[in-house]
Amino acid sequence: MKITSIKSHVLQYDLPEELGYSQQYYAKRTAHLVEVETDEGITGWGECFGPGNVALANKGIVERVIQPMVLGDDPMDRDVIWHKVYNLLRDHGQKGMPLQALSGVDIALWDIAGKVAGLPIHKLIGGAHRTSVPVYGYGMMLRREDADSMCARFTDEAAAIKAMGFVATKMKIGLGAKDDVRLAQAVRKGVGDDFDFMADANHCYTTSDAFYVGKALEELGAYWFEEPIAPEDLDGYRELRAGLKVNISGGEAEFNRWGWRKLLEARGLDIAQPEVCAIGGISEYLRVLALCHAHFTPVVNHVWGSAVAVATNLQLLAAMPPLPGGLFPREPMLEFDTTDNKFRDELLTTPLDIQGQVARNGGRAAVPTGPGLGIEPDRDFIARYEIH
């Protein structure tokens, strides 16, 4: 079997309302799908992390840089291909966009391997520790409104997400330390005392402000405080973890095993959040997962993107061993963005219907059991939303 082509499909549409987080507001939804074709008619699908113009730049890397390197290679040699591409790109970036581009290709190669074997990816990894995974609902995005209005909205939205059946919820923060504490108080009010909520800062704080917000989250009983400070500040992460009782999480902006080795050795994370569509794909994710567990750091995957990303993460969460094990381990959760996302909800010929599953199945979603990722994108849908 040989690789005959690698195509990028960048999809985009206008959101019904502008959304924001601590770094920016955005009005368009983007997804970057990768399609790997073979001479035996088997096609694999993957996804690259990165929105908007980043996705268009990554399309260039996928099609004009990576594709010529691997045309004619056996797609079953995915680890050989991974190291070939990484080594040739090492001089041009060991992190960031080259790794995002490689991620989409690697995921597609795993999809092909599963289709060749007639097995879901979790079987190729070693089997399913669970056939369904708990799902947390992510919402409470920032908007251009005053803090009082946002607090009222966050209370209502948090209560609504809980009512949908999700096992926990996650909010955005980033207005400034004092207003962010008010937002967190509003979310706790919305979900009540016995429901997990998490706060995502998208690395907007100084260490001092992160301590201020973290102490408040601690008092409110938040489950984790996500990306409180810049991902490069490993010393700051270690200080926060040592000084706060709330779990410190992060890692979505870290790449490959070498970056993760430094992050884990800094002992700054209670919960690791690798992003498979950025880290280097499934091949590198599995190496990073082993590193995390070697450092006794539990993993809750970062998930952002289309149904391809969601299906990939369902496969990985199924195959993730419990840490540290026991009769009643805290399971890894699937992250689910509750805002408008056609590329997740309408991309597939048979939708995953995560939100419907959550409502019907006690907050859980089933792991696909078909070959590879266990999904099939709708080509007519892709053609309708593809940009160039």
| Eight-state DSSP code of residue 8 | E
Q: Point out the catalytic residue in the list 9, 32, 203, 302.
A: 302
Which tokens is 19 given?
């959304």
343 contacts 385 by C-beta, under 8 angstroms = yes
| Eight-state DSSP code of residue 63 | I
Catalytic-residue membership of 302: yes
State how far the Cα of 194 lies from the Cα of 224, in Å rounded to an integer. 15
Compute CA 2 distance to the chain's CA centroid, rounded to the nearest angstrom: 30
Longest Cα–Cα distance in the chain? 60
211 contacts 237 by C-beta, under 8 angstroms = no
Q: Is the dihedral of CA 228, 230, 134, 303 positive or negative?
A: positive
Residue spans of beta strands (DSSP E) within the chain: 3-21, 24-38, 43-48, 132-138, 168-172, 196-200, 224-226, 247-250, 271-272, 334-337, 364-366, 386-387
In terms of DSSP bridges, do strands 3-21 and 24-38 run parallel, antiparallel, or are they unpaired? antiparallel
Is omega for the bond preceding 324 within 30 degrees of 0, making it cis?
Answer: yes
State how far the Cα of 70 lies from the Cα of 205, in Å rounded to an integer. 42
Residue 289 backbone phi and psi in degrees, to 5: -60, -45
Active site amino acids: 302
